[in-house]
Amino acid sequence: MKIIMLGAPGAGKGTQAKKIAEKYGIPHISTGDIFRANIKNGTELGKKAKTYMDQGLLVPDELTCDLVVDRIGQPDAAKGYVLDGFPRTIPQAECLTDALNRLGSSIDYAIDVDVPDEAIVTRMSGRRACLKCGATYHIVYAAPVKEGICDKCGESLVLRDDDKPETVQKRLTVYHEQTQPLIDYYTKQGVLKTVDGTKDLNDVFAEIVSILGE
């Protein structure tokens, strides 16, 4: 079972990807994890990626695709995998399709966790983080016992720059420009399935399981 997770930043696709991986016994593969693992292990691909990352540049599509293809070729991914955060653009998707075709393989499902922009802005701007111990909260869904104070270490909680409404809106604009076209791409391939990401996360997962099967 080879799955791609799609959805805007803050839609909850990462959470769902982890739950899918756990239930079906397949690896949850994120590009961030792949980059870190290859750099840590000093692989040839990792060294190449590091030269871009050290300069604050995006790793080129072709190299990212090579890293992903290398990862999904490992033994633990033989029964399938769930890709989270890749592909992000049409060139990445085309690169992945070509690579899989050469392996005699293809994506089974592209699951779009659909959440309206305004709901994402509300969701993300409600996040609070403790910079000391790394704990995270949400003023509506997972509030600390004492407002503005971390339950674990007693430090003050902050709204990260990434979660400020204006930043979230910018990230959403980039998402719609770059990643939204993937919805059409995978619809044409006949593998796109959309779930309502505004529901409770367990209900969203139940909807995904009904698509993938028990």
Residues marked as catalytic: 13, 88, 127, 160, 171
By the 10 Å C-beta count (0-12 exposed, 13-18 middle, 19+ buried), 141 is classed as exposed
Give burial (CB, 10 Å; 0-12/13-18/19+) of 145.
exposed
The two three-digit tokens of residue 204, written as one number: 């969203």
Short-list 115, 102, 92, CA closest to 176:
115
**Three-state secondary structure along 66-118?**
HHHHHHHCCHHHCCCEEEECCCCCHHHHHHHHHHHHHCCCCCCEEEEEECCHH
Largest CA distance in the chain: 56
- At 4 the three-state DSSP class reads strand
With the C-alpha atoms ordered 89, 92, 94, 96, is the resulting torsion angle positive or negative? negative
DSSP percent split of the chain into helix, strand, coil, nearest 5 = 50, 15, 35
